[in-house]
Amino acid sequence: MLDQGPEILRGKALVCAALLCKINRRWLPSLCNAKLLASVERLMKEKDPYVQQCMEALVQTIVGVIPGILESIATDIVNLTSAKRANTTGLGAAPLIGRGSARSSIPLFPVVLQLMNSPTFRTRVIDRPVLAHVASFLKRLETSSFQVSSGAKVLGINNCCKAMAGL
């Protein structure tokens, strides 16, 4: 619909995507997996003012939710590393983060990386606070590892560095 539909439908699809992201940021991975970023890149060349306004609304909405996602990821990492420390001292088991834990924001980190790699979003997403968050994630992960979704992969500094190598 974003690539071949009439301008009015393309604009409405963009606004719909923006509203979904605004209502619940958990829509971001689904939208990114549905090739939204590639469509946005193509629509940057669109001359129709309505589509341009709708696309600008989508970009602003997505950029607006990134700080909240990063704050949530930082909180989750702190909770996981403190749970790991509690586990090593015998106080309890470290929780697994995955599909069963709907509150974890760590699975949204790949979306942030995708947005950092997108030509359209890069200049709006990457700034000092975002880089400070990513640096703090790496610093915290440098000394710890914990289990995350999809087969309980171990996420450590090496995996984060590999994921960020495309920046």
The reply to whether 82 falls in a domain is yes
The HSE-up count of residue 105 (CA atoms within 13 Å, CB side) is 19
Determine how many CB atoms are found less than 10 A away from the CB of residue 98.
17
Does residue 1 lie within any of the structural domains?
no
Q: Is residue 50 within 8 Å of 10, Cβ to Cβ?
A: no
Please state the rounded mean pLDDT for residues 7-30. Answer: 92
pLDDT band per the 50, 70, 90 thresholds, residue 166 = very low
Pair of tokens at residue 23: 């209502």
Amino acid at 62: I
pLDDT at 20 over 90: yes
Answer with the residue of higher pLDDT: 93 or 48.
48
Which amino acid type is present at position 39?
S
Which residues are 147's β-sheet partners? 154
Q: Which of 139, 140, 59, 149 is nearest to 110 (CA)?
A: 149
Provide the β-strand partners of residue 154: 147
Q: Give the lowest-confidence range in 14-23, 35-44, 78-87, 112-121.
A: 78-87
- Does residue 2 belong to any structural domain of this protein? no
Total domain count, the chain: 1
Q: Which residue has the higher pLDDT, 163 or 27?
A: 27
Q: What residue numbers bound the domain in which 65 lies?
A: 7-164
Q: What is the pLDDT of residues 56-104, one digit of tens each?
A: 999 999 999 999 999 999 888 888 877 665 555 554 444 444 443 447 8
Q: Categorize the per-residue pLDDT at 141 as very low, low, confident or very high, splitting at 50, 70 and 90.
A: confident
| CA distances to 57, 76, 96 from 101, in Å | 31, 11, 8
15, part of any domain: yes
